[in-house]
Amino acid sequence: MRLLLVRHGETPYNREGRVQGQSREGLTPLGRLQAQGLGRLLRGYAPTALYTSPLPRAVETAHILAGHLGLDPLPLPALAEMHLGEMDGLTIAELRQRYPLFMEAWRKDPAGVQVPGGESLPQVQERAWHAVEDLLLRHPQETVVAVSHNFTILALLTRALGLPLSAIRRFHLDLGGVVVLATGREGQWVLEAFNLREPVPVPQGSPAS
């Protein structure tokens, strides 16, 4: 299977520098342009299935992709972003002010802490990896698109490559970025591409992310 993990397009929270877990934000005009660019890019892979996180920003991205790919988006709850609990919607400055001990622990070992009122990265990785294993059973020889989110995608990437979960800090995935993974010899996963994206013009008044 070739798995195309797609990060959704820009949202108002992204534009404002707010952390975003399972909040209900949709896309900005730039986010919709990013999704259109993704549709053109992914068409060349000729995918046979399209799955999406149930969160609105992912669903909106997936529906834009569907117009280019000729596929119906199928919801897959395990692709949802990390539940950020009390922290959802806060800026980094607000996080540092309200949760200084957590932020310091996160800086040292993001895989070793639990978000207040939310999830831990190991919990995110476990639920999302079960979903990938299910997709592999359903589509062993196909190319599959899965629209998801930053922490979820990076948790899957580290698992696929056999890296410690804390290694997510070594990767930066842009909004509208794509990670391409494929099953190689002896069932091992191979990273074919990271942070693929199609540059898009920035709408007037909307800063780039």
Q: Determine, yes or no, domain membership for 63.
A: yes
DSSP assignment letter at 193: E
Residue ranges in 78-161 assigned as alpha helix (H): 92-98, 100-108, 121-138, 150-161
pLDDT tens digits, 113-132: 999 999 999 999 999 999 99
Catalytic-role residue among 8, 10, 60, 149: 8
pLDDT at 201 over 90: no
Q: Which of these is catalytic: 10, 25, 60, 81?
A: 81
In a domain, 81, yes or no: yes
Q: Tell me the pLDDT tens digit for each residue of 52-85.
A: 999 999 999 999 999 999 999 999 999 999 999 9
Specify whether 8 is catalytic. yes
Is 171 inside any structural domain?
yes
Does residue 61 fall inside a structural domain?
yes
Q: How does strand 178-183 pair with strand 189-196?
A: antiparallel
Q: Is residue 68 part of a domain?
A: yes
Q: Domain for residue 13, yes or no? A: yes
Active site residue 139: no
Residue 3: pLDDT band (50, 70, 90) is: very high
Domain containing residue 62:
2-196
Strands 178-183 and 2-7: antiparallel
Is 201 within a domain?
no
Q: If pLDDT is split at 50, 70 and 90, which confidence band does 186 have?
A: confident
**Residue 104 falls inside a structural domain:** yes
How many CA atoms, within 13 angstroms, populate the side-chain half-sphere of residue 97? 5
> How many structural domains is the chain composed of?
1
The CATH number covering residue 99 comes to 3.40.50.1240
> Does residue 6 have a pLDDT over 60?
yes
pLDDT tens digits, residue range 86-97? 999 999 999 999
**128-177 pLDDT, tens per residue?**
999 999 999 999 999 999 999 999 999 999 999 999 999 999 999 999 99
